[in-house]
Structure 1
């Protein structure tokens, strides 16, 4: 196999693997809607956002109009004097994904 063709295959393979890694990193983990409702209550989100996320003293988060990465960033790094930050030690990535799924699925149901 000539060097030129080998280099092209290598470049193509590298780009393919890199693209797959980026797509995987950007997608939301699979969440469970039922668990999301439970975690929402257990982590006391309703204290500020209301039982359904649409009332309370905090911002309205239902209907949810943001992507998973933005939602997770807000949960982890809340830049607010009122909302606490929730590091992974307090709320797991799976719990965040479950809550996100619950809010998102609620938002997409008529």
Structure 2
């Protein structure tokens, strides 16, 4: 039996459920602005990027226009020796999503 025939022979409910699982694994966690502001402060991001994300000595990150995956990659494996790396143990994926949505909310 061909793979296509197998897929179409699955019960619709099972097919729908498996689609949600695949899509859920590919999407970013939903961020929370209030939590993001707290994590931004707690992890001392403001020490270099400034209180408003645009008033520090490091690059402007206020209104950041970056995907979650790109942000997570930059957070985990920075491209500069000045910014510390933040492994998952220090800033988990949900906290990173919170920080990103907070940064996107800044003017």
Normalising to structure 1: TM-score of the pair?
Answer: 0.76
Q: Counterpart in 2 of 1:81?
A: 81
Q: 1:27 offset after TM fit, Å?
A: 2.2
- 1:49 and 1:106 map into 2 onto residues whose CA distance is 12
Q: Is the 8 A contact 2:49 2:57 kept in 1?
A: yes
Q: Counterpart in 1 of 2:8?
A: 9
Q: Does 1:48 align with 2:45?
A: no
List runs of 5+ in structure 2 lacking aligned partners: none
List runs of 5+ in structure 1 lacking aligned partners: none
Q: Is the 8 A contact 1:35 1:99 kept in 2?
A: yes
Query: Are residues 8 and 84 of structure 1, via their aligned partners in 2, closer, same or farther at CA, if it must alter by over 3 Å?
Result: closer
Q: Is the 8 A contact 2:48 2:56 kept in 1?
A: yes
Q: Counterpart in 1 of 2:29?
A: 29
Structure 1 runs of 4+ aligned residues shifted over 3 Å read 3-8, 19-23
Query: Are residues 79 and 22 of structure 1, via their aligned partners in 2, closer, same or farther at CA, if it must alter by over 3 Å?
Result: farther
Normalising to structure 2: TM-score of the pair?
Answer: 0.78
